[in-house]
Structure 1
Amino acid sequence: MKDLQDLLPAEAVRLDVRAADWREAIAVAGRLMVETGVTTDEYTREMVANVEENGPYIVIAPGLAFAHSRPSPAVLATGMSWVRLAEPVAFGHESNDPVTLVVALAAQDSAAHTSAMAGLARLLSDPATAAALAAAPTPEALRAALAGERTPDGSETTEQPAAPEQPAATGASAVPEPSAAGPRAASLHKILTVCGNGVGTSLFLKNTLEQVLDRWGWSRFVTVEATDTISAKGKASEAVALFTSREIARTLGDVGRPVKVVQDFTSTAEVDAVLRDTYDV
Structure 2
Amino acid sequence: MSALTDLLSPEAIVLDAAADDWQEAIGVAGALLVRTGVTTDVYTREMVDSVLEKGPYIVIAPGFAFAHARPSPAVLRTGMSWVRLAEPVAFGSPGNDPVDLVVALAASDAKAHTTAMAELAKVIGDASRRAALAAATSAAEVLGVLDGGAAPAAPETARTSSSGAARGTTKNKILTVCGNGVGTSLFLKNTLEKVLGEWRWSPFIEVEATDTISAKGKAKEADLILTSGEIAKALGDLGVPMTVIENFTSTAEIDAALRANYDI
Normalising TM by the smaller chain, what interval? Answer: over 0.9
- 1:200 maps to which residue? 183
Which of the numbers 225, 239, 242 marks the counterpart of 2:208? 225
* Mapped partners of 1:262, 1:176: distance in 2: 24
**CA drift at 1:162:** 5.9
Given candidates 212, 228, 232, the residue that maps to 2:195 is 212
- 114-123 or 174-183: bigger deviation: 174-183
TM-score when normalising by structure 1: 0.90
Cα distance in 2 for residues equivalent to 1:258 and 1:267: 20
Q: Matches of 1:280 and 1:139 in 2, distance apart?
A: 47
Q: Which residue identity does 1:177 align to in structure 2?
A: S
Q: Which residue of 2 aligns with 1:51?
A: 51
Unaligned runs of 5+ in 1: 152-156, 168-172
Matching residue's letter, 2:154: A
Percent same amino acid at aligned positions? 64
Q: Structure 1 residues 189 and 141 mapped into 2: Cα distance closer, same or farther (>3 Å)?
A: same
Aligned mates of 2:163, 2:71 — CA distance in 1: 40
> Deviation at 1:207?
0.6
Provide the C-alpha distance between the structure 2 equivalents of 1:188 and 1:73, rounded to a whole number of angstroms: 37
Letter of the 2:16 partner, please give it: D
- Once superposed, what is the RMSD of the aligned Cα atoms? 1.5
8 Å Cα contact 2:105/2:183 also seen in 1: yes
CA distance in structure 2 between the aligned counterparts of 1:188 and 1:4, rounded to whole angstroms:
33
Q: Alignment length, in residue pairs?
A: 263
Aligned with 1:16: secondary structure?
Answer: strand
Q: Deviations over 1:228-247 (max 9, x none)?
A: 00110000000011100000
- Deviations 1:84-138, CA, capped at 9 Å, x for gaps: 0000101111211111000100001111100000111112212111111121111
Provide the rounded CA distance (Å) in 1 between the counterparts of 2:114 and 2:134.
23
2:161 pairs with 1:178: no
Cα distance in 2 for residues equivalent to 1:70 and 1:57: 14
Partner of 1:63: 63
CA displacement at 1:164 relative to structure 2:
1.3
Deviation at 1:280, TM superposition (A): 3.2
Secondary structure of the structure 1 residue equivalent to 2:111: coil
Contact kept? 1:41, 1:74, Cα under 8 Å: yes
Q: 1:153-187 CA distances to partner (integer Å, 9 max, x unpaired)?
A: xxxx2xxx4621013xxxxx63341367356xxx7
- In structure 2, how many angstroms separate the alpha carbons of the residues matched to 1:217 and 1:272? 13
Query: In structure 2, how many angstroms separate the alpha carbons of the residues matched to 1:256 and 1:3?
Result: 38
TM score, norm. by length of structure 2: 0.96
Residue 240 of structure 2 corresponds to 257
Question: Aligned partners of 1:61, 1:105: CA distance in 2, in Å?
Answer: 16
Matched to 1:279, the amino acid is Y
| Structure 2 partner of 1:102 | 102
Contact 1:126–1:164 (CA under 8 A) maintained in structure 2: yes
Residue in 2 that maps onto 1:79: 79
Separation in 2, partners of 1:180, 1:4: 33
Distance 1:207 1:179, change over 3 A: closer
Aligned to 1:241: 224
2:167 and 2:203 map into 1 onto residues whose CA distance is 16
> Is 1:276 aligned with 2:262?
no
Distance in 1 of aligned mates of 2:162 and 2:32: 45
